[in-house]
Amino acid sequence: MCTMPLDRPSVPLVSIILIFFRIGLFSFGGGLSGWIYRDVVTLRGWMTDADFLSGLALSQILPGANVTNLAVYIGQRLRGPAGAICAVTALVAGPFFAVIGLLVAYDRLSTMPWIQDGMSGAAAAAIGLLLVVAIKGARSASSSLVPFITLAVTFTAVGIMQWPLVPVVLVLAPLSVLLAWRKAASNA
């Protein structure tokens, strides 16, 4: 069991909660381990580089979200099981309540006509972007017969006949690879 070295002062649970709550609430899109390193190692000196990097490596090989694994590790190293519980709870509490708040706000705002118009505009833009990607994909696939046939069959099966995508891909992908392989072998 990992324990805190005796020569370090005990870190208050409130401090662990505040740090991980702030990181969870204001950090998103990755890079959380960098923010945790900055707060825990660089600014506060609660852990050494070696301790933190050991925890980071461990958190990446364990199942689950890396940042929650890292929060458990750091909380455990700083204050034992209570520290681990405080760190993880604080890390996820901010985003949890932020999402609930956004859901309530969306529920109230979604009935306003200008919000509905904005959502319709965003949907139209997304469809336009999807069509651009589809056209570019069709152009690149039309340079050879096998990709073009695969694209056409996939479009017909999924888009027109409304067959489920996964079974269609599971059937067409091996056939497409086999045909491309045979074509490459005959061209060599």
pLDDT in tens, 96-126: 999 999 999 988 888 888 888 888 898 888 8
Cα gap 48→186, rounded to integer Å: 60
Cα gap 179→188, rounded to integer Å: 14
Q: What is the pLDDT of residues 59-108, one digit of tens each?
A: 989 888 889 999 999 999 999 999 999 999 999 999 999 999 999 998 88
Q: Which amino acid is at 125?
A: A
- pLDDT confidence of 6, banded at 50, 70, 90? very low
Cα gap 16→74, rounded to integer Å: 9
Q: Name the pTM for this structure.
A: 0.58
Cα gap 172→166, rounded to integer Å: 10
Alpha helices in the chain (DSSP H): 13-26, 32-37, 49-61, 66-79, 81-109, 113-141, 145-154, 165-187
- pLDDT confidence of 159, banded at 50, 70, 90? confident
The number of beta carbons lying within 10 Å of the beta carbon of residue 151 is 18
Q: Which amino acid is at 46?
A: W
